[in-house]
């Protein structure tokens, strides 16, 4: 198949899922065309089946905000037409699903039928999409897609609960490449951070409010009162300054390191004992899956789709959002040497269920079904 993938070229979340999906499809012989405004961060190599088309956003003094959606729709039209694509797969509804709808209508006037699959990732539904300034367009463009997928059962449920959706939503969970995300031997790194054999806790995120990074720091603060421990914080975002101030207030600066955005996050995960994800909202929790693949148990909140991934009492624990006391107790239980090896083993076993080789065939089958249904309607 010739597939167009539209996504945000960002460091984490939906951008990573879209890029890894495209790379996986290219590996098994499909031709994949990425359409976005910047080279996706994990697409920095040559492959004969991978193409990248940059959206040109022309500015003009009249525009306070350049109309990205129009530039994107125009680029989709030209890529579908000249590269003869079989299907467009857009990741994150806003504004990709509505731009795809517009491209589809334009192409129809030229006698070209292009099926569109929209994948809902999380905040496009649970946060931004619900806002009255976007909701009518989100509802319309989901209903107009030829296929819709969501990354967890919870996200599917939430989509039906809030939006007036008239079509089926297929759940295809996120996935991981276990060849890349695996525990590596990084003892020198562990020794540098934890010279006295302290337990190492790790959090990675985009430091937005929904991630509740303050809970990570508070739980660490409580754990550290009981056992020697260190905390690594990977990523960057709007909450970073506030979190640095919180560490100063609590006096934990010597034991907490802010590492910023890192490409090789698997190297940090390789030396971790516990991963923390106390999010307020989380449709899937890809960062937790990356940790589990590196044999790191997960202490998470019970937000959104996280419990579909983190099995309570098996791969870690699932706690009530904001319950620092409960999280502290569960963290201490996991970090106990009598329990830690079992949790690590279980985390890896669970991650194996989400290997890309298991999930990719679901997307391929869904594309084939969507193309067949669209063509049957002509």
Residues that bind ligand GMT (CB under 6 A): 12-15, 17, 92, 121-123, 126, 151, 174, 206, 208, 210, 281-286, 304
- Phi then psi dihedrals of residue 248, to 5 deg: -65, -45
**Which of 81-84's residues contact partners 24+ apart within 8 Å by CB, and which partners?**
81/107, 81/110, 81/112, 83/2, 83/4, 83/31, 83/33, 83/51, 84/2
8-state DSSP, 70: H
Residues 6+ apart with CB under 8 A from 336: none
CB of 282 to ligand GMT, least distance (A): 4
How are strands ordered across the β-sheet holding 229-234? 256-260, 229-234, 199-204, 274-277, 298-301, 316-319
The residue sitting closest to ligand GMT, measured at its beta carbon, is 13
User: How large is the angle between the packed helices 13-27 and 356-376, nearest 10 degrees?
Assistant: 80
Q: How far is the CB of 288 from ligand GMT (least distance, A)?
A: 8
Report the residue number, 128 or 332, with the smaller CB distance to ligand GMT: 128
Name residues whose C-beta falls within 8 Å of residue 78's C-beta, 6 or more positions apart in sequence: none
Strand partners, 43: none
DSSP state of 312: B
Smallest gap, in angstroms, from Cβ of residue 258 to ligand GMT?
Answer: 18
Residue placing its CB nearer to ligand GMT in the complex, 204 or 252: 204
Mutual angle of helices 93-109 and 135-144, in 10-degree steps: 50
Within 8 A by CB and 6+ apart from 184, the residues are 266, 267, 270
Minimum separation from the CB atom of position 125 to ligand GMT (A)? 8
Convert 65-93 to b/e letters by CB count within 10 Å (16 or more is b). eeeebebbbbbbbebbeeeebbbbbbbbb
Q: How far apart are CA 239 and CA 217, in angstroms?
A: 12
Q: For ligand GMT, which is the closer residue by CB, 310 or 346?
A: 310
Residue 256 DSSP SS3: strand
CB of 342 to ligand GMT, least distance (A): 26
Closest distance between ligand GMT and the C-beta of residue 162, in Å? 14
- Which one, 31 or 215, has the nearer CB to ligand GMT? 215
Pairing label, strands 2-6, 87-91: parallel
Closer to ligand GMT by Cβ: residue 6 or 114:
6
Least distance (Å) between residue 21 CB and ligand GMT: 10
Residue 146 or 290: the one with the smaller Cβ distance to ligand GMT is 290
Residue 122 or residue 147: which is nearer to ligand GMT going by CB? 122
> Residue 92 or 101: which CB sits closer to ligand GMT?
92
Q: How far is the CB of 377 from ligand GMT (least distance, A)?
A: 29
- Tokens at 319, concatenated: 């706690």
């Amino acid at each position: 198949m010739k597939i167009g993938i539209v996504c945000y070229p960002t460091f984490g979340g939906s951008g990573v899922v879209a890029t890894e999906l495209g790379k996986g499809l290219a590996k098994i012989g499909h031709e994949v065309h990425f359409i976005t405004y910047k080279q996706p961060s994990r697409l920095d190599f040559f492959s004969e089946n991978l193409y990248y088309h940059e959206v040109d956003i022309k500015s003009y003094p009249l525009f306070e905000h350049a109309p990205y959606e129009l530039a994107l729709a125009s680029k989709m039209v030209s890529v579908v037409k000249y590269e003869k694509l079989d299907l467009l797969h857009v990741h994150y509804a806003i504004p990709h699903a509505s731009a795809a709808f517009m491209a589809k209508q334009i192409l129809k006037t030229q006698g070209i039928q292009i099926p569109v699959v929209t994948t809902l990732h999380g905040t496009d539904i649970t946060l931004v999409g619900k806002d009255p300034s976007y909701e009518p367009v989100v509802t319309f463009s989901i209903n107009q897609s030829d296929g819709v997928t969501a990354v967890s059962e919870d996200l599917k449920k939430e989509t039906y609960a809030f939006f007036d959706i008239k079509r089926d939503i297929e759940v295809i969970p996120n996935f991981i490449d276990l060849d890349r995300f695996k525990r590596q031997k990084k003892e020198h790194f562990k020794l540098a951070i934890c010279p006295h054999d302290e337990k190492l806790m790790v959090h990675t995120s985009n430091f937005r409010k929904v991630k509740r990074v303050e809970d990570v720091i508070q739980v660490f603060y409580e754990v550290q009162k009981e056992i020697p421990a260190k905390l690594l914080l990977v990523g960057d975002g709007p909450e970073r300054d506030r979190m640095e101030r919180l560490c100063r207030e609590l006096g934990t600066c010597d034991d907490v390191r802010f590492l910023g955005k890192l490409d090789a996050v698997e190297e940090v995960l390789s030396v971790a004992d516990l991963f923390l994800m106390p999010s307020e909202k989380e449709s899937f929790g890809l960062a937790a899956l990356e940790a589990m693949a590196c044999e790191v148990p997960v202490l998470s909140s019970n937000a959104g789709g996280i419990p579909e991934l983190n099995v309570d009492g098996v791969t870690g624990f699932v706690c009530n959002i904001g319950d620092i006391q409960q999280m502290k107790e569960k963290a201490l239980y996991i970090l106990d040497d009598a329990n830690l090896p079992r949790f690590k083993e279980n985390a890896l076993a669970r991650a194996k269920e989400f290997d890309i080789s298991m999930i990719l065939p679901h997307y391929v089958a869904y594309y084939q079904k969507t193309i067949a249904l669209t063509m049957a309607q002509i």
